Amino acid sequence: MDEDVFLEENLLKYEEDEESLRLLEDEARLSKWKRPALSPSYLSYSPNILFQQLEIDYVIGESSKELLPNNSGSAAILRIFGVTKEGHSVCCHVHGFEPYFYISCPAGIGPDDISRFHQTLEGRMRESNKSSNVPRFVKRVEIVQKKSIMYYQQHEAHPFLKIVVALPTMVSSCRGILERGLNVEGLGSKNFLTYESNILFALRFMIDCNIVGGNWIEVPAGKYTKTTKSMSYCQMEFNCVYSDLVSHVPDGEYSKMAPFRILSFDIECAGRKGLFPEPIHDPVIQIANLVTSQGDDQPFIRNVMTLKSCSTIVGVDVMSFDSEKDILLAWRDFIREIDPDIIIGYNICKFDLPYLIERAEALKIAGFPILGRVRNSRVRVRDTTFSSRQYGIRESKEVAIEGRVQFDLLQAMQRDYKLSSYSLNSVSAHFLGEQKEDVHHSIISDLQNGNSETRRRLAVYCLKDAYLPQRLLDKLMFIYNYVEMARVTGVPISFLLARGQSIKVLSQLLRKAKQKNLVIPNIKGQGSGQETFEGATVLEARTGFYEKPIATLDFASLYPSIMMAYNLCYCTLLTPENARQFNLPTESISKSPSGDTFVKPELQKAYAWLNLLLNLPGCSNFQSSYIQGILPEILEELLAARKRAKADLKEAKDPFERAVLDGRQLALKISANSVYGFTGATIGQLPCLEISSSVTSYGRQMIEHTKKIVEEKFTTLAGYDHNAEVIYGDTDSVMVQFGVPTVEAAMKLGREAAEYISGTFRKFIKFCFNPSNLSLRRDMLDCIGRIPKSLTKWIQKARIGGIETVRRDNCLLVKNLVNECLCKILEDRDVSGAVQYVKDTIADLLMNRVDLSLLVITKGLTKTGDDYAVKAAHVELAERMRKRDAATAPNVGDRVPYVIVKAAKGAKAYERSEDPIYVLQNNIPIDSQYYLENQLQKPLLRIFEPILKNAQQELFTGKHTRNLKSSTPSNSGIMKFAKKQLSCLGCKAVISDADRTLCLHCKGREAELYCKIVSNVAEMEVLFGRLWTQCQECQGSLHQDVLCTRHKSDLTFSSHLFPRLPDILSEEESAERHG
Amino acid sequence: MPDAEIEEGEAKLFERNQALYKSLDERYIVHGQRYKGQQYSQIYFARLHCMRNLLRPLVSKWKPHLPVTTILGLEEAKECTIVGTIYKHMKLKPSILDEYSKERSTVPLVKPHNFVHTDDHLILEDEIGRVKLRGSLLLPSDFVTGIGVALHGKKTIEGDFLVQDLLEAGFSPQVELSAAGNDKYVVFISGLSIGSNNFNPLQFQLFVDYVTGHLGSDNEQKIASNIVRVVIAGNSVVIPESLLNGQTLSAKDQSKISEPIKELDILLMQLAASLPLDIMPGPKDPANSFLPQQPLHRCLFPGTSAYNTFFSCTNPHQFELDDFLFLGTSGQNIDDLDKYSNAKSKLEFMERTLRWRHLAPTAPNTLSCYPFTDRDPFFIESCPHVYFVGNQDKFETHLLQGPEKQLVRLVCIPRFCDSGIAVMLNLRDLDCYTLSFTADLKG
């Protein structure tokens, strides 16, 4: 046989085999990807469907003739996406819910007037929406009996007009017409105040159907019809009428979580040198995906899609493609096949998702952006800015993927945690105790252009990046906490990340108001946002060093308690004219210290009682009248629910159940605290400064009252051993020195005081005595004096262990130093030790022996340079860095790390900031004087002034400040002209011969000098060894070179020790000269 | 340099016995220390390469029916053998990042004696891939990072590797010795710690006098004359660390540094004048800390270095004495194993390193070592006859027999300053005794 023929045949056969093998492989993949098949019972007959909903939106479509024979034309159809307990995906189309709002009814309106009003409104609507061809804009106008939430009113209910419109978008245009004024025949021209007209349609639906975010919904058998032509990729899809939905309260069986599918992904792009990847030019080369089922601790699908071949990775499905188009389409198919309910990742909203979509656009792949659950619906990218008082301005991109919740871990981190850096690396180091290797984008291209091995390395890195968000999600229990938050506040899960706090309170308020038959007016932009009111004041602290234990008395949730105790609410607020008009007895109203009046809860009770007694005919409405304001009632429910959740938590054993309950109690706490803020948000939904200023004024009064009572009661006259003294008080706590020497005695008195004081307040305000605080402040040095509040918290936390860095623009050196000093003074009672420690640190700083990482200051870049009125160090630096290398420069929203360097005399502070990496690379000297004066001095003096007589002199002058050393810049200024000469290692005298190490004078000290140098070398070597092995550990491989470039470039600084490497060299050099 | 002693009364002359000495330290010498950006991956790579070459023929004998695959080539439930380096994932292993990133001054670095934890697990890594090891066969507490092994097993559904059998490199081949000769003694001593409070000059002087033949009866002198070599295994001096922080020192402190070294020089001079002497650097000596530690600099011994009987050696130290192969360290390798794994005694650790055919498997992972690029000098190519480790808590010894009739004398040398014990080894039969010196006048 001819050899060539044989070969060819064999090869062909082999190829065929491979082909069939691949097909088999694909099939195996698909079967793993698919959701569990539907049970035959669903397919054959239609049982009840119970599912947990995750996302609700609406579309405009033809209303279903089958379900609602009376309706016709286009209408809003709500879509509820969710998952059943078996893991089937559900899409439920809800029909028949109509958008509406209220206006106050003009006095004396009759049925005829209403139809006239209706027609006029319809006419005006048609005028302003000429282009649309809706048959009827305003569907109905009805008279309903409601009451406004604002101000105390004696009448029970007024007539209101409920205006029902055809489509949700018409609400706002209709509102506009009514607010601007409408001339109705017979009634005259009038500007109407609208009520509940700015509520999103989906939220309106949820409120009216009692659906809260993430709860279980049941559609009874026979009440739904399966869709004939499915619109979505969900396994179950059906139509029903809104009134047939059964919404379950998230309790017991219904507090569980369905097995959602969570997709965590990360992409890699091959950027060009020195430039940040742009979708127009740079290809997507890898996408790593991990899919986890909620409740499992391991992902059940791990795969990575790569451009060009890639070696296999254990436990990971590697899929290689030859063209970028194939990757993108494969990813789309993957998404469609596995059908994730939640998509997570790190910075996916701002980078990964928009990049993929824009890249597909650039490559003209029209079929790519169909990632949602709705067939043929393209994903759109929109720029959004989110601004909130609490979180500042954030630019972001909104990628609407219908039916799937996006959860960007970066956003969640920025919202929930205060960190000095939000890079994935530092976040995972902080929460998971794990560093990830950092591959610079310039290396990414090199790896991609290498062979299948180098691409494998990149894939491993990419997978790790995809896995970290999932691990963070698990570790921080985001799913539990956010779902519980959605359940408690009643908003959809997607609102929690995309919107501020106020929507949550508004949702609760609306739900409560609906029960009480109240309506909420639409008050827009009442203030300019600049109005303020007096905040919580703080008692003047008595600075000093206190040897004896100090007890801290805390109010338990003070602000919510005040609102409950004094019945502060929109509906109990009395306007001055109303007060005059109603002429209420003074004992039934309370005037807050800020001068606003509120009706006491007892008033209504009194009236009701009076009513019964006298049986007055005109007052009969009072019988059904409510007793409390709405806000107090919401708060009371929240706090009671929290108590319940905490009690359940104690009993619960199942870890999942515990997670849910813990998430719930946390959500309840946060919600209760945000109610106060809601009333004070002047550009919020329903601001009411009367309430918020009353709350703070009551708070101040209470602190003062407490102080008075404590100092009156605990006196030697009253039989106590010592006079108690209030040393300090802030928003919600008071610190008392009872004068007793032991901690136990102070604790006893503290408890007694707490009980006594609680007795003097109204029932809701409870003084709670927190024994843990006391032990913390044992033998407290009261350095709280003029230290900002942040620092007092900091001290407490520092005691408990680990610094909670409250002020992030301090460098680590200050934090460490202050903490250490407090430890020494408070715990070890070693003042002179603390002083020595400070001196040593200062000497180290001046001698340039402090690690650079300790000197880095970070500041958030919130706007671009032009937007800042004053030039700020970090902004200027960001600008300079952009000029050097646009790819690595910080962007808006990032935190900019910088150090202060020495500069020409008279240089402005903002000109002296410099990128730490740049400083290391160029040996730029640090301005140690700046750190001494601007960073260290103030906090140190605050601590030491009460203890030391001449703290300033003692600490900041003297011998230890006289030795200075700074690094010489390597390539700038006068150093360019310097000539290197050998000098004696002992005395720095210049020596002539190149081969000698010591001058004649020092020859006798040879052994000693050698010891010193060699010990430095040894120290460096240990450091070298430990650092490189640490790098290997992070990378997770022994046999391959460490790729991570952090030791050269990115510094989140916790790990930044590598500048020492050059030192090792020079030390070794001098050792060599010896040899 | 033969040396003779003249006894006072009777003029009896003992001639010092001699042995042929050949230093094999060349492999541990680092030439031209200049850092060129090398990383530790190369040394692991070289080690794995060595191991693979060594294990390949062994594996084909061990499990001839099984295919040898790479970790990436593993297939589920298919039995095979793999060769790689063990990596031990340790929960308690201290991380330098923690030290630096957390409040480094406030948290005192707790240094427990041992970092082994029940949650530790083993991972096998080859040139490219990694796989987690499972099964009760391998006890994580017995192993450390850096050992090259061959494993037989199969991949599980979870993607781990279920180990069914293990093959270690085993003892290296040993040069067979010719017939037993005469009594010839080698004396080992370590941990003099001159300059520390524990050091007693009289005690050491007694040792010097004994070895040089200035003490004892004829009989003892006869024995002393058969001592052919003294080996000092590390930690000869202690220099207070507080003086070495880079600050300029006062004249008084300067002498505090040089004083112990001068004293050592004087004492060693007496020894070197009488018989050959090897000194190895230890972790506390004025030497670098990377293994292999380079010889102590001659400038430290202006007096002793004039003698050609004085040898400043590397640590580890390897030499031949009348065909006997000696291998030893100042103790770092065994102490590090003790921190990161468990064994009944130090001797067991020593036996393990012989079995793994690697002197210091934990280098560079937890033991700092020079980043070699082309070789792994700690690989034990031929099995020594005497294997000693300095600076241990107590004297221990064992005559180990290998599977191919290798005979190895294992010696743990105790710290002299604490115990007053030096170890004497007879080359004739590899027997081992202690010499105990006490200068406690009360006792």
Show residues of chain B in contact with A1037, CB under 8 Å: 41, 125, 130
Task: For residue B441, tell me if it sits in a domain.
Answer: no
Who among A1017, A1021, A1026 is closest to B96 (CB)?
A1026
Residue B186 lies in a domain: yes
> Strand, coil or helix: what is B221?
helix
In this structure, are strands B80-89 and B148-155 parallel, antiparallel, or unpaired? antiparallel
| Number of separate helices (H) and strands (E) present in chain A | 32, 34
What is d(CA B40, CA A321) in angstroms, rounded to the nearest whole number? 34
- Read off the pLDDT of each residue in A970-988 and give the average, rounded to a whole number: 60
Is there a contact between A1039 and B262 if contact means CB atoms under 8 Å apart? no
Identify the pLDDT of residue A432: 78
Cα→Cα distances B14→A286, A431, B222, B225, B275, Å: 81, 73, 7, 6, 13
pLDDT tens per residue, range A252-263? 788 888 888 999
B281 and B238: one domain?
A: yes
Query: Which pLDDT score, from 0 to 100, does residue B416 have?
Result: 92
Nearest CA of chain B to the CA of A276: how many Å?
A: 28
**Left, alpha or beta for A1036 (phi > 0: left; psi -120 to 50: alpha)?**
left
| B315 lies in some domain | yes
> Which of B299, B312, B332, B362 best probes binding to A when mutated, by most A CB atoms within 10 angstroms?
B299
Q: How many Å apart are CA A750 and CA A778, to the nearest integer? A: 13
Q: Burial, A512: exposed, middle or buried (Cβ in 10 Å; 0-12, 13-18, 19+)?
A: middle
Domain endpoint, select from B168, B188, B217? B168
DSSP A835: H
- Does the structure show a pLDDT above 70 at A543? no
The verdict on B226 and B309 lying in the same domain is yes
- Give the helix, strand, coil percentages of chain A, each rounded to 5: 45, 20, 35
pLDDT at A745: 73
- B115 reaches A (C-beta below 8 A): no
Q: Do B260 and B362 belong to one domain?
A: yes
Return the structure tokens found at B412: 């743990």
Same domain flag for B372 and B429: yes
pLDDT in tens, A1002-1057: 777 777 777 777 777 777 777 777 777 877 777 777 777 776 655 433 333 333 33
Q: In sequence order, what are the beta bridge partners of A289?
A: A265, A303
Contacts of A466 (CB under 8 A, 6+ apart): A264, A265, A266, A288, A289, A290, A345
A91 has a pLDDT exceeding 60: yes
Is B125 among the domain residues? yes
| Domain that includes residue B96, residue range | 41-168
Asked if the structure places residue B94 within a domain, the reply is yes
CATH number of the domain to which B103 belongs: 2.40.50.430
For residue A692, the surrounding DSSP H or E stretch is helix A689-713
Let me know: does A444 contact A391? Beta carbons within 8 Å: no
From A1014's Cα to the closest Cα of chain B, the distance in A is: 6
Chain B residues in contact with A819 by the CB 8 A cut-off are 103, 106
Both B243 and B119 in one domain: the answer is: no
B364 touches chain A (CB under 8 A): yes
CA of A840 vs chain B CAs: smallest distance (Å): 12
**Last residue in a domain, options B135, B150, B168:** B168
- When CB atoms are compared, the residue of B72, B145, B258 closest to A1008 is B258
- Average of per-residue pLDDT values in chain A: 74
Average pLDDT over residues A675-680: 80
Spatial separation of the C-alpha atoms in residues A512 and A535, rounded to whole Å: 28
Place of tokens 């297939």: B75
Kindly state whether residues B268 and B160 are assigned to the same domain.
no
Q: Other C-beta atoms within 10 Å of A347: how many? A: 19
- Same structural domain, B21 and B51: no
Predicted confidence at residue A715, as pLDDT, reads 81
Which residue type is seen at A475?
Answer: K
Scan residues 303-342 of B and list those with Cβ closer than 8 Å to A.
none
Q: What sign for the dihedral angle of Cα A304, B135, B156, A297?
A: negative
> What are the structure tokens assigned to B187, written together?
């004396």
CB-nearest to B105 from A820, A1018, A1024 is: A820
Cβ of B96 under 8 Å from any chain A Cβ? yes
> Does residue B199 belong to any structural domain of this protein?
yes
- What's the number of domains chain B is made of? 2
Chain Cα centroid distance, residue A1021: 42
Nearest chain A Cα distance for residue B136, angstroms: 22
Q: What gap in Å lies between CA B204 and CA B438, rounded to an integer?
A: 9
- Per-residue confidence (pLDDT) for residue A537, from 0 to 100: 56
Q: Which residues contact A362 (CB under 8 A, 6 or more apart)?
A: A279, A280
Whether residue B420 sits in one domain with residue B293: yes
Which element (helix H / strand E) includes A203? helix A201-208
Q: pLDDT confidence of A762, banded at 50, 70, 90?
A: low
Question: pLDDT tens across A821-864, in order?
Answer: 776 766 666 778 888 888 888 888 887 777 777 788 877 776 65
Q: Which amino acid is at A533?
A: F
Pairwise CB contact (< 8 Å): A1018 & B239: no
Q: In chain B, which residues have their Cβ closer than 8 Å to the Cβ of A1006?
A: 299
* Intra-chain end-to-end CA distance of chain B, in Å: 37
- Work out the widest C-alpha separation in chain A, in whole angstroms: 121
How far, in Å, CA of B388 to CA of B230, rounded? 13
Chain-chain contact of B72 with A453 (C-beta, under 8 angstroms):
no
Residue A953: what pLDDT?
A: 80
State whether B297 and A1075 contact (CB < 8 Å): yes
The tens digit of pLDDT for each residue in A426-468 reads 788 777 776 666 676 667 888 888 888 888 888 888 888 898 8
Token digits of residue B326: 């000696």
Please report, for residues A11, A318, A321, A870, B74, the alpha-carbon distance to residue A17 in angstroms, rounded to integers and kept in the order given. Answer: 10, 20, 19, 70, 21
Note whether B246 and B367 are same-domain residues.
yes
- DSSP letter (8 states) at residue B105: T
Which of A37-41, A935-939, B324-328: highest mean pLDDT?
Answer: B324-328
* Chain B: residue whose CA lies nearest to A1012: B244
**DSSP per-residue codes, B297-351:** PGGG-TTGGGSTTEEE--BSEEEEETTEEEEEESSHHHHHHHHHS--SSHHHHHH
State which residues of chain B have pLDDT below 50.
1-9, 102-109, 443
Q: Which two tokens stand for residue B282?
A: 């230890």
Residues B76 and B124 in one domain: yes
Residues 200-259 of B with CB under 8 A from A: 239, 241, 244, 246, 254-255, 257-258
CATH of the domain at B320: 3.60.21.50
Of B105, B127, B289, the CB nearest to A816: B105
Q: Among residues A52, A89, A67, A340, which one has the least CA distance to residue A237?
A: A89
Closest-CA distance, A1062 to chain B, in angstroms, reads 9
Q: Do B106 and A820 touch (CB under 8 A)?
A: yes
Query: What pLDDT, in 10s, does the model give residues A3-14?
Result: 444 444 444 455
Closest-CA residue of B relative to A1027 is B96
B155 three-state secondary structure: strand
CA distance A1022 to chain B (A): 6
Assess whether pLDDT exceeds 80 at residue A729.
Answer: no
Pick A780 or A553 by higher pLDDT.
A553
Together in a domain, B182 and B311: yes
**pLDDT tens digit sequence for A544-603:** 666 666 677 777 677 887 787 777 888 778 777 777 777 666 666 777 777 777 777 665
Q: Are residues B322 and B180 in the same domain?
A: yes
Last residue in a domain, options B168, B193, B226: B168
pLDDT band at A697 (very low <50, low <70, confident <90, very high): confident
Tokens of A613: 């007694």
**Res A896: pLDDT:** 80
What angle do the packed helices A812-822 and A937-944 form, to 10 degrees? 10
For tokens 């009866």, name the residue: B217
Checking if the pLDDT of A207 tops 80, the result is yes
CB contact under 8 A, A1068 and B35: yes
pLDDT at A422 over 60: yes
Alpha-carbon distance values, B423 to A464, A526, A662, B411 (Å): 54, 93, 65, 8
Q: Which residue from A99, A324, A310, A80 is spatially nearest to A201, judged by alpha carbons?
A: A99
What span, in angstroms and rounded, lies between the C-alpha atoms of A380 and A374?
Answer: 13
